[in-house]
Chains A and B, each alone.
Chain A
C-alpha cells in the first residue's frame, strides 16, 4: 500500500469551535480547505455530535450550533477528514514549499501538502493526582461528559453505584448540566472554591450578558439532585480493585484540606474529577512555535499575534484553546481570525481581510477573553497538588513512577522536566508526559523550581504512536510536481 496524498491551501487541525470557524472563514475567502479531526465526527468537545439519534443531547444549542457550523463548512466546500490522527507535521523545507501533514486513518497513511496550517488542537484535562486517583472508576470530568454524550441510546455512565462530580471551575457546572440533560443523577457535587456568592455575583455583573447562561447551569445542577459541598475537595478515593468510597474534606483558610473534618461517601461507582484543562501543544511545539507559561491560561500555551493568530513560525496559525484557555466563544472568534489570515497568505482573490472587519473581530475576541479571564480568577487552577500526596502515591501512571521516585531524583540534582524524565521515566510512557507534565512541575515547584523554568514536554516524531508500516508509507510518499 502507498499513502494517499492530498493538497490544499489551508489545513485546519481540529474540528472544534476554533477549527470549524477557521475552516469556514478560510473557505469563504476562496481557499481550498481540509479540516482534520481524530474523532469520528467533527464538532470537538464543545459541539460534540451525538452518535445516536433521539438522545436528549440532539436538541441542545451546543449540538445544533455545531451542526450548523459543520453544514456551513460543507456548503463552502471544506473537506473533512475525520477519524484521522495527525502523527507528524513537517515545516516547509524552503520558504515557498508547503507544510506536510502525515495522518493515519483506518490503517491507511494520508499525506497532506498544505500552504498554511491552522492549529486548533484544543485542550485536554489536566489530571492532578491524589490518593487513589488511579483506581478504575475514577475518571476525568471531561471524560465523564464524553462517555455520556457518546453512550448512544443508553444515556448513562457505565458504572454501578453513586456518582460523585468533583473539582473546580465553571466547567464542572457544564458537566453537571450534561448529566442533567441525560437524566444521569449526581449524588455529590464537590467544588473546591467556597460559595462566596457575593464575589461571584459582582464579577458576573461585569458581564451581564452571561447571567442567563450561569443561571441555567445552576438550575441544571439542581436537577441532578446533587448534594453540594462548596469549599471542599475529594482527598481520597478508596476501594478494592475499583473505586468504592470517596473521602471529602473541607478546605481550610490556609487553602489546605482539613482532614480532621473529612467524611466518607460509601457505595460510589464513579468519581468524575477535574481541576482544569491545559492546551494541547504537541503540534505547535513539534513545529517549533514559541510557547509561554501562564497558569490562568492553562499553563504552557502557543503564543500568537493578537491581530492575526500567526505563531512565531511562518505559515503556521493557531486558534482556540491551544493559544490559552478561554472557552468556546474566544475559540470561535480566534478561529475566524486565523482562518482569514491563513487564507490571505495563499489565496490571491481573497475577501474579508479589510482592516475594519479585522478590528471588529479582534474587539469581540478581547471582550470574550476578558470574560474568560474573570472566570479564571474566580476559579484559579491549582499549581500544586490540591491534596498533599504520600510518598508511595503514583504520579506518572504510564510508567508507575511514585512521588518518592521523583523526589529522590530532585534530591540528587534533577532541576527540570527533562532530568526527571531521564532518571525516573516519568513522561516516557504512552502519553509522553502529556498527563504527568503538570504533576512533575508541581513536584519541582515544591523544590523551588518555578514552572516557567521546568520546561514542557516538547513533542517529537511521532505526535501520536504510529505503526512502523504506516510511518514508512507516509514518510516515503513522493509528490508529483504539479
Chain B
C-alpha cells in the first residue's frame, strides 16, 4: 500500500465489528483514526456471525452494558441511512430438561428484576410465537427485545459513517509490529515494512490479538476457539420468527450451545456445538471446514425442534475463530505500555457489546466522559485486561 500516511492520531489494528466501531467512535469524537485491516473488512468472524444483539444470555453482571449497547445499535440503525437490517425479532431459549428449566427460571427472574421484559413460556405459548417449534420442549424463555442486524451491512455502514467523520480505513494491510520507545507507544509497522507513527494504538485483532501484544511481553489471556455455521437455501420468510437458542445450564458456552434463526434473505442459519472443537494447527492461515460431527449435531437439534424442516436443503457452511478468555468476558482497556489499548476476547458475542466497548475505548483515548460514570467504572472492572494476572485484586 503506497497511499499509507506516515503518521496518525491513533491507529486501530483490525477491521472486524469491534475495530470498525472503535474507529467510528473515535472519529465521531473528533479524532482522525487510521484503521488497518489485514485482509477484507469484516471478513473474519464478524462476517460469519449471526449478529444477535440483546441481554438474554450468560453474564448477567453485564446486563446494563448489554442493554446500553443494544440501544446504541438501534440508534445507529436509525441514524445511518444505510439499512443494516436491524430487526427486533426477540429471542427464545428452548428448554429440554429439568436442569435447563431451573436455569431458565432463574435467568428470567433475574432479568425481570433488572428491568427486562423477559418471561417463561409454556410450550403452547412458545408455539404461538414459533408455530413450527413442534419439538419436545418443556418450556421456553423469551426476551422480546433481542434484535439481529446484518453483519456485513453493519460493517459497511460503520465504514461509511467512520469515513464521513474523518477516519481512514485500509484493507489488505496487516500490522507486523507495534512500535514503542521507553514505555510509550510510538506507532506501528506494517508487514510490508511501512512505519506509521501514532501516540495511540488499539489492538482489535480478534482471536489473534495476543500475538501483537506478546512483542511487549504482555501476556493477554485470549485463545482462539473454532466457531461454525450452516445455512440453508432461502425459505419463505416467516418460516421462523425468533432467534432460537439453547438455554444455557451449567458450564456456559463450553458445555455446548445452539443458535437457529432465519435471516432477512430467507436463509435459515443454524449451529449446534456439543463440545468445544479444538483449534487446528495453523488455523490462522488456512481455510477450515466444518467437522462432520458438527453437521450431524446441528441437523439433529434442528430437526428435533422443527421436525417440519426434515428436507431443508443445506447450501453452505463456514468456519471462523472467536477469541476466548477464561471468564468469557472481553479484555478492554489500556495496557502498561502508555498509549496502547486492547479490545478483544469476544467469546462469541462481540456484536452485543461492540458499541459500548467502542465508546469506552474512545473515551479512554480522548479523555471525554461520554459514558455514565457508573457504567464506565463497571466496564473498567468487568473487562480489566489484567484481571487474571497474579496479584490482581478486583
- Residues on A facing B (Cβ under 8 Å): 90, 286, 288, 399, 409, 412-416, 418-419, 422-423, 425, 428-430, 432, 458, 460-462, 465-469, 471-472, 475-476
Stretch at the interface among B251-259, B306-314, B334-342: B306-314
Q: Which of B135-190 contact A (CB under 8 A)?
A: 152-153, 156, 159-160, 169, 171-172
Minimal beta-carbon separation of A426 from chain B (angstroms): 12
For A286, list chain B residues within 8 Å (CB). Answer: 289
Contacts A286-B289, A415-B40 given: A472-B169 contact, CB under 8 Å? no
A100: nearest residue on chain B (CB-CB)?
B292
Is A430 a contact of B317 with CB atoms below 8 Å? no
Cross-chain contact of B296 among A425, A430, A462, A475 (Cβ < 8 A): A475
Q: Nearest B residue to A429 by beta-carbon distance?
A: B234
Interchain Cβ contacts under 8 Å between A and B, 11 examples: A409-B156, A413-B41, A418-B40, A419-B171, A423-B153, A461-B289, A466-B314, A467-B312, A469-B303, A471-B299, A471-B314
- Residue numbers in B under 8 Å from A415 (CB-CB): 40, 171-172
Chain B nearest CB from A314 CB (Å) reads: 16
Which residue of the partner chain, among A413, A432, A458, A475, contacts B159 with CB atoms under 8 Å?
Answer: A413
- Closest A residue to B153 by beta carbon equals A423
* Interface residue? B216 (CB, 8 A): no
Contact A467-B313, Cβ < 8 Å, known A412-B160, A419-B41, A430-B233: yes
- B128 interface residue (CB < 8 Å to A): no
Contact of A412 among B159, B233, B309, B313 (CB under 8 A): B159
Query: Which of B152, B265, B292, B311 sits near A467, CB closer than 8 Å?
Result: B311
CA gap between A409 and B152 in the complex, in Å: 11
Q: Is the interface of A mostly helix, strand, loop or mixed?
A: loop
Q: Contacts A412-B159, A472-B295 known; A467 to B314 CB distance under 8 Å?
A: yes
Distance A432 CA – B43 CA, assembled complex (angstroms): 17
In the bound complex, how far is the Cα of B292 from the Cα of A329, in angstroms? 38
Min C-beta distance of B178 to chain A, whole Å: 24
- Name the residue on B nearest A287 (C-beta): B289
Q: Which chain A positions have C-beta within 8 A of B42?
A: 422
Of B172, B310, B312, B317, which one neighbours A462 at CB under 8 angstroms? B317
Contact of A423 among B156, B300, B309, B314 (CB under 8 A): B156
- Given A413-B41, A461-B290, are A472 and B315 also a contact pair (CB < 8 Å)? no
- A465 contacts B299, C-beta separation under 8 Å: no
Query: How big is the B interface, by class?
Result: 35 or more
Given contacts A460-B287, A471-B314, list 5 more A-B pairs with CB under 8 A: A422-B40, A460-B319, A468-B299, A472-B295, A476-B296
* Residue of A90, A399, A418, A475 contacting most chain B CB atoms (<10 Å): A475
Cα–Cα, bound, A175→B50 (Å): 46
Within 8 A of A (CB), among B7-45: 40-43
Bound CA–CA A461/B319 (angstroms): 10
Whether A416 and B316, one on each chain, are in contact in the complex, defined by CB atoms closer than 8 angstroms, is no
Q: In this assembly, does B208 line the interface, its C-beta being within 8 Å of a C-beta of chain A?
A: no
Nearest residue (CB) in B for A469 is B310
Q: Which A residue sits closest to B37, measured CB to CB?
A: A413
Q: Is the CB of B265 within 8 A of A428?
A: yes
Pick the contact of A413: B169, B290, B293 (CB < 8 A).
Answer: B169
Task: For B152, list chain A residues within 8 Å (CB).
Answer: 422-423
Chain A residues whose C-beta falls within 8 Å of the C-beta of B69 in the assembled complex: none
Known: A422-B43, A468-B303, A476-B296. A461 touches B317 (CB 8 A): yes
Contact check, B40 vs A419: say whether CB atoms are below 8 A apart.
yes
A458 CB contacts on chain B under 8 angstroms:
287
Contact A468 B314, beta carbon cutoff 8 Å: yes
Asked whether B76 is an interface residue with its Cβ less than 8 Å from the other chain, the reply is no
A429–B300 CA distance with the chains assembled, in angstroms:
24
Cβ-based interface call for B101 (8 A): no
B110 → chain A, closest Cβ, in Å?
35
Interchain nearest-CB distance for A425 vs B (Å): 7
From B43, B47, B302, give the contact of A468 (CB < 8 A).
B302
Complexed CA–CA distance, A121 and B232 (Å):
24
The distance from the CB of B284 to the nearest CB of chain A, in whole angstroms, is 16
Contacts of A461 in B (CB 8 A): 289-290, 295, 314, 316-317
Q: Is B310 within 8 A of A468, CB to CB? A: yes
User: CB-CB < 8 A to A425: which residues of B?
Assistant: 265
Instruction: Give the distance in Å from the alpha carbon of A419 to the alpha carbon of B287 in the complex.
Output: 16
What is the chain B residue whose CB lies nearest that of A432? Answer: B316
A107 to chain B, nearest CB (A): 9
A458–B43 Cα distance when bound, in Å, is: 14
Separation of A399 and B47 alpha carbons in the complex (Å): 18
B312→A468 contact, CB < 8 A: yes
B270-321 residues with Cβ-Cβ distance < 8 A to A are: 287, 289-290, 292-293, 295-296, 299-300, 302-303, 309-319
Determine the chain A residues whose CB is within 8 A of the CB of B303 once the complex forms.
468-469, 472
In the complex, chain A residues whose CB is within 8 Å of the CB of B299? 468-469, 471-472
Q: A432 near B315 (CB under 8 angstroms)?
A: yes
By beta carbon, the residue of chain A nearest B40 is A419
Give Cα distance in the complex from A432 to B290, angstroms.
17
B-chain residues with CB within 8 Å of residue A471 when the two chains form the complex: 295-296, 299, 314
What 9 A-B pairs have minimum CB-CB distances, sorted nearest first? A475-B292, A422-B152, A472-B299, A465-B313, A461-B317, A419-B40, A468-B299, A468-B312, A476-B296
| Given A428-B265, A468-B309, A462:B40 Cβ within 8 A | no
B295 A475 Cβ-Cβ under 8 A:
yes
Chain B residues closer than 8 Å to A399, beta-carbon distance: 265
For B314, the chain A residues whose CB sits under 8 A away are 461-462, 465-468, 471
